[in-house]
Each structure stands twice: as structure tokens, then as C-alpha cells.
Amino acid sequence: MPRRKTLVLAAAAAAALACVTLSGLSRPVFAITEGGSLCSATVAMEAHREVWGESGCEAASTGWRHLRDATEAQQVRIIVAFVDLPDAGTPCPGTPDGGAPPDTNLTLQLLQGSGESRWRVCGEEDGGLTPPFDEAVAAMRELGPPPP
């Protein structure tokens, strides 16, 4: 009987993890997506400092996985970095079309109870990232890589 109960609990836990989505995480959710339209990887930190990740190409995805828990210091750094970002949708400085150079392939996202904000990360001519995007990206990357 104990083995059967263990199997039932393991199956229930696996089913619960399979249902995780970015929009279903506890808000606020801070996320970074790296990649283009064909292949991308996302790492997100939710309100309780749980770090989740997902990656894949086109229709194939790893599914959302709990990767680790962020430290309180990491959480504070991310919050401060996102507060310093310009208004979502603000054009990148110095680009004719107001968009980010295509080689950045980075998007930051903040999901709150009041809605969602999304930023295309602005790049510089030398391949670096424009402040304050550089700090927000560094803070999110400190959480570690997405699942392979």
C-alpha cells in the first residue's frame, strides 16, 4: 500500500508541474526571453522567488520547470532593475525605427495583477546593452540558465 500511495503522489506532482505556464505563476513575475521567433528560452522569477524556465524551438518545448529559488538579494536586484527601466514601448535611443538592433534578441517582461509590460532590450553599436537594460538583463541572467 505505501508504494501505491507514493506512486499516486508522484503522479499528482508531475501533473501539477505539467500545468505550469508563465501567466499562471504568482505575480509579480519578472521574465527574460532570449532568442527569436523559431527558438527561444525564458527564465522567470515569481513572487515567492521561485525561478522557472522553459525553452524550445517552434512547437517543441521543454515545458515549464522549477529550476531553483532565487535569493532575497537576487530578488531585490531584479525589482530595482525593472523599476529603472523606461516606460514599456519606449523606442530605443539612436535607432531610426525605434527598435532594438536585431542581434540583441532579448525581451524583458513584467506580469503584475494590473497587467503586463514588455520591453525589447536596446543594444549598442559595440554589441553591449544600453543602460538601464544592461542591469536588468544581468540581474535576470544571474538566476541561471534556462533548461536545456
SS3 25: coil
Residue 56 cell numbers, joined: 524550445
Residue 68 cell numbers, joined: 531553483
Tell me the mean pLDDT per 10 residues along the chain, length 148: 50 54 95 90 97 91 94 98 94 63 80 95 85 96 88
**pTM metric for this prediction:** 0.82
pLDDT digits (tens, 9 = 90+) for 2-38: 555 554 444 444 444 458 999 999 999 999 999 977 8
SS3 11: helix
* Sequence spans of domains, the chain: 2-141
The CA distance from 74 to 99, in Å, is 29
Residue ranges of the alpha helices (H) in 65-132? 72-83
